[in-house]
Amino acid sequence: MYFGGSIALIAIGAILAFAVEDRLDGVDLTTVGYICMAAGALGIVLSLIVSGQRSRSTRRDEVPPR
**pLDDT (average), residues 9-25:** 93
Dihedral sign for Cα atoms in the order 10, 13, 15, 19: negative
Dmax over CA atoms of the chain, in Å, equals 72
pTM (two decimals)? 0.75
d(CA 23, CA 45) in angstroms, rounded, equals: 32
Extents of the domains making up the chain = 13-54
Per-chain mean pLDDT for the chain: 86
Write the CB contacts of 39 (distance below 8 Å, at least 6 apart in sequence).
9, 13
pLDDT value at 55 more than 60: yes
Residues in the chain, total: 66
